[in-house]
Amino acid sequence: MKPEKVVDFYSRLREHEPAPKTELQFVNPYTLVVAVALSAQATDVSVNKATKDLFKTVDTPEKMLALGEDGLKSYIKTIGLFNTKAKNVMAAARILIDQHGGVVPRDREALEGLPGVGRKTANVVLNVAFGEYTIAVDTHIFRVSNRTGLAPGKNPLQVELKLEKVTPPQFKQHAHHWLILHGRYVCKARTPECWRCVVNDLCAFKDKTPPPGALAKDVKAKGRPKRVSKAVGAAKGARRTKAKMKR
């Protein structure tokens, strides 16, 4: 996608959603780390349901250790892979206390050193909690970047690096949220809703989907082929045969 189109692309997303925010619920940087770690292979909705009561009483690494692994499981048991995630959250809390004074570090390498925290989670924390210009590439952003031609890549890291390169500075703060929300609600995996996409004409996706019911209306407008009665068909056939005999 050409630079001028990239600017137009982000401008339209910004106009549609001026101040995008993460849909994960959190109360401080630590609870954000926990929420994002729990969201791996799970929906934000399911995580929010599990952490709604948890974060009312547990909002620091110290309180998490006091709760204990079994206590945490009782809150997050509805989330996939909750056993593994509970262990990671507890291990991460211990490291934060022992190595960082119980404070979430504003450093990618340190964040990625926490159990259950990969590059994507670190990018989300740096962007949301600290305002860094990072772009966490999840399945939605990977799809949107490739489908639209904004930042094609074979893997999340390639897409991330390309997005950082092509995204103008004035859009980097919210680029992550604009793209993830667009992928989650408009540029969906199975059936993208191209008819209501604000960047439809800038998108490189060829097989754009029409509005619901558009195909049925088109067939109805054109009408079905008229049926020819057997009698009329037989008469036409007889005339053709007779004409051939005269030749």
Catalytic residue among 53, 56, 120, 244: 120
Catalytic residue among 138, 165, 188, 201: 138
Task: Examine the residue annotation and report whether 5 is marked as an active-site residue of this protein.
Answer: no
The pLDDT profile of the chain, 247 residues, written as one tens digit per residue, is: 999 999 999 999 999 999 999 999 999 999 999 999 999 889 999 999 999 999 999 999 999 999 999 999 999 999 999 999 999 999 999 999 999 999 999 999 999 999 999 999 999 999 999 999 999 999 999 999 999 999 999 999 999 999 999 999 999 999 999 999 999 999 999 999 999 999 999 999 999 999 987 755 554 555 554 444 444 444 445 455 444 444 4
Query: Which token pair is 129?
Result: 């909690």
Structural domains of the chain, with CATH: 1-207 (1.10.340.30), 214-246 (no CATH)
Task: Examine the residue annotation and report whether 120 is marked as an active-site residue of this protein.
Answer: yes
**CB hemisphere CA count around 59 (13 angstroms):** 10
Computed over every residue of the chain, the mean pLDDT equals 89
Q: Are 136 and 127 in contact (CB under 8 A)?
A: yes
Rounded Cα distance, 160 and 142, in Å: 8
Q: How far apart are the two ends of the chain, measured CA to CA in Å?
A: 65
Q: Supply the pTM of this predicted model.
A: 0.81
